[in-house]
Amino acid sequence: MKKMLVSITLWCFASIAIAQHHESTKGINIIPIPVSVQEGMGSFTLLPTATIGYTPTAAVKEIAQQMQQKIARATGFSLAKSKGLSNATIQLQILTKRDTVLGNEGYRLQVTPTAVIIKANEPAGLFYGVQSLWQLLPAAIESKTVVNKMNWKIPEVAILDYPRFVWRGLMFDVARHFFTKQQVENYIDEMAKYKFNILHLHLTDDEGWRIEIKGLPRLTEIGAWNVKKVGYFGTFTPPKPDDPRNYGGFYTQDDIKEMVAYAQKKFVNILPEIDVPGHSLSAIVSYPDLSCTPGANTYHVRSGEEIMDWSHGAPPIALIDNTLCPANPKVYTFLDTVFTQVAKLFPFPYIHVGGDECPKNFWEISPAIHQLMQKEGLKTMEEVQSYFEKRIEKIVESKGKKFMGWDEILEGGLAPNAVVMSWRGMKGGIEAAKMKHRVVMSPTTFAYLDYMQGDSIIEPRVYATLRLNKAYSFEPVPDSVDSKYILGGQANLWTEQVYNTRHLQYMTWPRAFAVSETVWSPKANKNWLDFVNRVEHQFKRLDIEQVKYAPSMYDPIFTATKNAEGGLQIELATEVPNLQIHYSFDNSFPDQFYPVYSTPLTPPEDAVMLKVITYRGNKVMGRMIAMPIKELKKRAGIQ
């Protein structure tokens, strides 16, 4: 049975069954794709008379209650709890004899014409079985109000499923823009449905300190607030001295406890990140003594104005000093206080200490840093950062936690037990794994959800692009490393350019589907075309749930080149199959009656705009894109 793949015969079998299904339940379209799916010919229909039975533990009862609530919300049925387990219509069963195939998070889900039975070793497995069950029900199960006259049919099926990796993460940056506890909990709801189990909260940065620390009140009185601005973050005009600093917020320790408890009910662990020694302006503004630089007491929490010069590459040149001072004993006392409280608030065994993008130019001119270098025999600024990381590793470990940081912590020598989160590609992760350190892969190349997911002419502008198909090709285990060191993978959503939750959702879905399948499903089950089909089914669910997603995969890809005569040649392509691209050069809005793109285009002499839109038959799929010819010429290197 182990790793049984969805075979050709199974698909034939499935397609026979499809023909008999009600439109909204046809096929099995689960994301992430399970280890194995065997579809039968029959179906189960959820009726108001169905009962729920479960192994009587608090954790399983909680899962059963979540089920009852969701079923009631969409169907209006209030399902009764059955007295026994084996006579219930829906059964949530913890196995008394451990099933070694399933591990801690796997499950077996069986749907017959008369019952739905989910079995697992642990409550987490039952929870994931339930998430798959939702995706077997009609999309209307996601409705927030009762849907009448629905046939709540589920295809007959036997599913065996368990995750490929223990670390299935999403990072949510609540520092650049603050998101409330409720908004974070909503995000947890969404991620848990796709079997993510780690929410990495980026809690501190130059723009805000988001967690109450007792005894350090200025962190949240001063450090959590900046000036509200909109536009292209990073290029804002510096705030005026009297601009109100009332934009931001923070989580009280009670908020954190509630969030952690909420996440636990969804089998999500929260990984806290306190980003030091760079990205620390909010802490420095609150407590200027933490800086090596005189004059830090005149700084303000960043509101999106430029504070780094990236023109020379990494590390950046800081225009103001946003780093903690590794030569200052007060910094370690401060971090001891912070990590003591963070360790108590978050039960997850890891604390992430950041370590990324730490500018060194202020350290270079600091007498205190030079004294430290002499005393400790440190030769480079990277070794200064490494000295700092090793000291804070000891602090983090003294609180009973594991120390984790971005891959910059490798520079100048890795702390002895550090776990590395590789973001600048896979390189840092490979290096750390070869040194027998554990690694989480979250490379920009495949897993940065803040990047644009389509052409910059239509997407909100960010400095890089990550299309869905590229995200889907993410493989966390490089050939050159022993897979036992790779804990898993993670997608990161930085929020410099994300001002609200609708856009947060837009940036997350569907790319997080791609990452969820990478970190949960067997590598051999991944298939791009099949995935796209399932994504389209998930879109219907998100529509009903009123969760926003990016339709970018339906938008064409433009390639502009110079032809042999030095003129412009335009090629159009689509990321997903079965789309026609209709276009115009006459400024009017193309629809399905306009020419269909088939071969490379040369624009008419005086054309100023290429307008494109994709259709599937008569159904509009993509967005109208107006691409200036001037822009295409620029891309092709034509003056």
Binding site for ligand ACM (CB under 6 A): 356-357, 406, 423
Q: Give the side-chain half-sphere CA count within 13 A for 495.
A: 30
CA–CA separation, 262 and 116 (whole Å): 26
The DSSP H or E segment spanning 20 is helix 8-20
Backbone angles phi, psi at 261, to 5 degrees: -65, -40
Q: Please indicate whether residue 356 is annotated as part of the active site.
A: no
**Cα distance between residue 419 and residue 398, in whole Å:** 16
Distance CA 132, CA 159 (A): 9
Are the C-beta atoms of residues 570 and 629 closer than 8 Å to each other?
no
Residue 151 has phi, psi (to 5 degrees) of: -95, 105
Pick 244 or 313: Cβ nearer ligand ACM? 313
Catalytic choice (177, 200, 202, 279): 279
Assess contact for 511 and 493: CB atoms under 8 A.
no
Query: Judged by CB, which is closer to ligand ACM: 233, or 406?
Result: 406
State in angstroms the smallest separation of the CB of 407 from ligand ACM.
8
Kindly provide the b/e burial profile for residues 239-254, where b requires at least 16 CB atoms within 10 angstroms of the residue's own CB: beeeeebebbbbbeee
Q: Which two tokens stand for residue 297?
A: 């007491």
Chain position carrying tokens 């603050």? 178
Minimum CB–partner distance for residue 358 and ligand ACM (Å): 10
Rounded Cα distance, 308 and 507, in Å: 25
CB of 462 to ligand ACM, least distance (A): 12
The residue to which tokens 């001037």 are assigned? 630
Residue closer to ligand ACM by CB (options 406, 446) is 406
Least gap, CB of 236 to ligand ACM (angstroms): 20
Catalytically annotated residue among 161, 205, 356, 389: 205
* Nearest distance, CB of residue 275 and ligand ACM, angstroms: 8
- Work out how close the CB of 57 gets to ligand ACM at its nearest, in angstroms, rounded to a whole number: 39
Q: How far is the CB of 409 from ligand ACM (least distance, A)?
A: 11
Distances (CA, A) of 1 to 101, 132, 158, 211, 402: 9, 19, 12, 47, 36
- 582 close to 613: Cβ distance less than 8 angstroms: yes
Q: Is the dihedral of CA 316, 332, 299, 405 positive or negative?
A: positive
- Closest-by-Cβ residue to ligand ACM is 356
Q: Is 336 a catalytic residue?
A: no
Question: Which among 418, 268, 436 is positioned nearest to 354, based on CA atoms?
Answer: 418
Of 44 and 423, CB closest to ligand ACM: 423
Q: Which is nearer to ligand ACM, 102 or 419 (CB)?
A: 419
| Smaller CB separation from ligand ACM, 321 or 357 | 357
Strands 90-94 vs 116-120: parallel, antiparallel or unpaired: parallel
**What spatial distance separates the first Cα and last Cα of the chain, rounded to whole Å?**
62
Half-sphere exposure of 198 (CA within 13 A, CB side): 28
Of 207, 357, 411, 496, the active-site residue reads 357
54 or 423, CB closer to ligand ACM?
Answer: 423
Q: Is 212 a catalytic residue?
A: no
**Which residues are known to be catalytic?**
205, 279, 357
